[in-house]
Amino acid sequence: MSEKLDQLKEILGEVTDLRNASAVLGWDQQVNMPPGGAEARGNQLATLGKLAQIKFTSDEVGKLLDELKAEYAGADPGSDDDAALVRVTARDYDKAVRVPPEFVAESAIVTTKAHEAWMEARQKSDFSIFQPHLEKVVDLVKKYITFFPPADHPYDTLLDDFEPGMKTADVKVIFDNLRPKQVKLIKAISQSKQVKDDFLRKKYNEKKLWDFGVNVVTKFGYDWSKGRQDKAPHPFCTSFGLNDVRITTRFEPDHPTAMLFSTMHETGHALYDGGSHPSYERTPLMGGASLAIHESQSRMWENLVGRSMPFWEHFYPEFKKTFPAQLDGVSLKSFYRAINKVEPSLIRVNADEATYNLHIMLRLELEIEMVEGKVAVKDLPEIWNTRMKVYLGITPPNDALGVLQDIHWSGGAIGYFSTYALGNLVSAQLWEKINKDIPDLDEQIRKGRFDALLTWLREKVHVHGRKFDPQDLVRKVTGSKIDAAPYVRYLTKKYSEVYGL
């Protein structure tokens, strides 16, 4: 290792420490902080964000990168970790150096206040409380775009932050190809006899659901000596290093079992975050290749594993024993069909697999139109409700069940939503490959064994961190770039069985 690379790694370690300190404060804001702490927390996050930005975009880092790019010019970043570190860091640097530290500080203050306003607005189901804050967020997002060279579409700049290399046009092509196939499947299901799921709406003990979820994800491989679970208004996973990756969940009285699936979902993120190669600690290589790859992991553990028949063949006897009154007379087959019921719903995170992507397409369209200036923030509730009626045939009765349900916009994460749907596609691609490599996977899951699955994911996906761009990683593992066909096959097979299509 060269002396220059050592110097770069030392600076990157300090930048990572500052960002992780910000992440700790962000976690605390959603888990523990009293509402009155918002202004002070915003200033704290602004200071740390500004310091990290100044340190990372320094002339010293730029000079080291220029010299190291020349030094590693002939190396293969696919096999050489040091060359990959230089490539990924240079990419991050080229983007970061365009963004003034003052803007980073301003964004931290605006989004901290926006988050608190969103929580109050959602609680009171009153969009007007959040509206002025979201208007500031959107203005900042538009300003952020101006720091970069003109792209094919302004939204490309935002999307690239979450899905490197992906273009708005690419996402539209994928979604335009996927939408009619999902609509066709949903129509076929709608003409079938509906599944009974009233027993899932009964009163379930929150503590028992929490404990059951903890038991499940412990078997998945979540290491509680390196993590913890707390409650938050919107479930999330956050990482402060390879050995401190935390998850959150929430309890919904009207949809109690959602708590269990939320725990599984966030554990998928956590397993990925904690699985990078140890040498990537405190460097930009640590973490996930992209948000779509991240979502492929969370959606895989939540749905392809957690909503599968083999999974419940193992866990249902214990679940029924835990909730005997709620599940009295409910067979395994009836329970399995109920947790996979297809029905247009208001809340994205509780949507079934067949309709979920339509929720994402709605949000993507609104984000693009806000960036283009075609949709004003004040009009979002009305437009949201109108399109929910068009896409899913239902209209939210209030803002909390409509436009205020997601946390993302309050944090300035505009450009994020499409990665959820892309993650669904990647999860199915990986699943087909996994089942070829582990032909008895279903039988292992029936026995409550997940070690082979986690080992496969660790070796093929997790260990690489951000070493590969997402499309390159998917191609390396599955043989093709992100493709909707495996997901359509998965949905068609699953719901043909559930609904007897």
pLDDT, position 1 = 59
Mean pLDDT, residues 342-356 taken together: 91
Q: What is the pLDDT of residues 173-215, one digit of tens each?
A: 988 889 899 888 998 998 899 999 999 999 999 999 999 999 9
Mean pLDDT, residues 235-262 taken together: 95
pLDDT at 425 over 70: yes
3-state secondary structure 328-354: CCCCHHHHHHHHCCCCCCCCHHHCCCC
Mean pLDDT, residues 313-332 taken together: 97
Whole-number Å distance between alpha carbons of 245 and 274 = 7
Q: Is 128 exposed, middle or buried (0-12, 13-18, 19+ CB in 10 A)?
A: exposed
pLDDT, position 140 = 96
pTM above 0.75, yes or no: yes
pLDDT winner (highest mean) among 28-37, 73-82, 405-414, 448-457 = 448-457
Q: What is the pLDDT of residues 280-290, one digit of tens each?
A: 999 999 999 99
Mean pLDDT (the chain) is 95
Domain ranges of the chain: 3-130, 168-499
Element (H, E) at 248: strand 245-249
pLDDT, position 78 = 74
Which of 339, 316, 312 is closest to 498 using CA atoms? 339
Q: Beta strand pairing status for 229-231 and 237-239?
A: unpaired
Structure confidence at residue 385 as a pLDDT band (50, 70, 90)? very high
pLDDT at 151 over 70: yes
Give percent above pLDDT 90 in the chain.
Answer: 90
Active site residues: 266
Which residue's entry shows tokens 């994911």?
A: 457
Q: What is the pLDDT of residues 61-76, one digit of tens each?
A: 999 999 999 998 888 8
Give percent above pLDDT 70 in the chain.
Answer: 100
Per CATH, is 168-499 categorized as 1.50.10.10? no
Coil, helix or strand for 230? strand
pLDDT at 350 over 90: no
pLDDT at 453 over 90: yes
pLDDT, position 79 = 80
pLDDT, position 11 = 97
How many CB atoms are closer than 10 A to CB 180?
A: 9
pLDDT, position 353 = 92
Of 52-61, 73-82, 314-323, the one with minimum mean pLDDT is 73-82
Could you tell me which residues come within 8 angstroms of residue 1 by beta carbon, excluding any fewer than 6 positions away? 82
